[in-house]
Copies of this chain bind each other. A is one copy, B any other.
Amino acid sequence: MKKWLSPSLLAVFFVLSAIGHYMDWNHTLQFVLSAVAVVFVAGFLGRATESVAHYAGQRLGGFLNATFGNAAELIIAIFLVKEGLFDMVKASLTGSIIGNLLLVLGLSILAGGLKHKVQKFNITLAGLNGSLMIVAVIALFVPAMFLNTHSITDKDTDVLSLVVAGILIVSYIAWLIFSMITHKSYLDDVTEDNEEELPNEHAPAWSKGRSIFYLVLATVMVAFVSEWLVGTLESLTEQFGLSELFVGAFLVAIIGNAAEHSAAVMLAMKNKIGAAVEIAIGSSLQIALFVAPVLIFVSAFTAHGTMDIVFTTIELVAIAVAVFIAKSITQDGATNWYEGLLLLAVYLILGVSFYLV
């Protein structure tokens, strides 16, 4: 494992894919180089997250990972919003939410469950996460229902979108105050005791300061490499006749969430399922409650006008379906391999449906 993640190979492939991208090499070559680079930087990010989680606790570590993971997506999406590509933005937000709730969470639970019979995490936090997810679904679902069944002016649609976006951001900030300040100890993972490892085996190789620096560095690298890879993908997928919806909601989302993937699965296999769940669910909540609303506010200042909060019916169905099954599976605070498999089954059903439409 150490070999694979060796810093020199990481640097070589990162630099090669950077050169490939800016020199506009052959797209297939660009794709191969940046795909290999993603593997290395995601592995690097996973180690950095784990190290930070060691110092900061599972939940804060999970939050940091989710935030750094989504920073890349937010930046990419702002560029798309500036160009008025609202449909693609919504497709990739949808894909990011379901990708985290089904693919990242599913793989983590499956991988962790194959090594450990039953994995437990904080049931109170699971319940709160579930309620937050339902609020997110409601906030996306209600405007769409009202606008589909009633005629309403464009101006009122903008007002509704901005008000709902404001409510979501306030809810998210209140959540941070609640979970990090007023009820921090209340939510502290009850299973953390069970997860103590032998100190010599798992003591992180890096100091606290260096871990944080590496976390930031790795996240930035993931952001760059992801964008380069996405750039090549779009031209490659044209060859294969894939729809924009499928590319946005699945391919882009899978690659854009590489950071969450690698970190969450790695933590789950070390029986830190609480941190893995926090990354997967925390990341999807951040997308729905913070990234999406921020994009709506940003769009209000662009030449293309305000991006409304109205997602398409199949996007809403996909999000609602992902939330329901993820909530059902996590609400008892215990996971096993079969539950991971169920999440992946739902992801597959959605993927095939999006692919065929």
Contact = CB atoms under 8 A, between A and B. Distances in A.
Taking residues whose C-beta sits less than 8 angstroms from the other chain, chain A's interface range is 35 or more
A171 interface: yes
> Binding site of A, secondary structure by majority: helix, strand, loop or mixed?
helix
Contacts of A2: none
A132 interface: yes
Contacts of A318: 142
Interface string A327-349: 11101101011110110011011
A135 B325 contact: yes
A345 B172 CA distance: 11
B341 A167 contact: no
B118 A349 contact: no
A356 B138 contact: no
Contacts of A339: 128, 131
Contacts of A156: 356
Contacts of A135: 325, 342, 345-346
A357 B152 contact: yes
A150 B313 CA distance: 10
A183 interface: yes
B353 A138 contact: no
Interface in A127-180: 127-128, 130-132, 134-135, 138-139, 141-143, 145-146, 149-150, 152, 156, 159-160, 163-164, 167-168, 170-171, 174-175, 178
Most B CB contacts (10 A, CB to CB) among A135, A175, A324, A325 go to A135
A124 B163 contact: no
Contact of A183 (B338, B346, B348, B353): B338
Contact of A314 (B149, B163, B354): B149
A143 B346 CA distance: 12
Contacts of A160: 352-353, 356
Interface in A171-202: 171, 174-175, 178, 182-183, 186
A131 B341 CA distance: 11
A324 B178 CA distance: 22
A170 B336 contact: no
B314 A150 contact: yes
Contact of A178 (B167, B175, B337, B345): B337
B167 A345 contact: yes
A317 interface: yes
A345 B142 contact: no
A146 B357 contact: yes
Nearest to A338: B178
A345 to B, nearest CB: 5
Contact of A142 (B138, B328, B350): B350
Contacts of A348: 167
Contact of A324 (B134, B145, B146): B134
B186 A152 contact: no
A337 B182 contact: yes
Interface string A268-286: 0000000000000000000
B183 A142 contact: no
A117 interface: yes
B356 A325 contact: no
A15 interface: no
A321 interface: yes
6 contacts: A117-B183, A135-B325, A139-B346, A160-B352, A163-B349, A178-B336
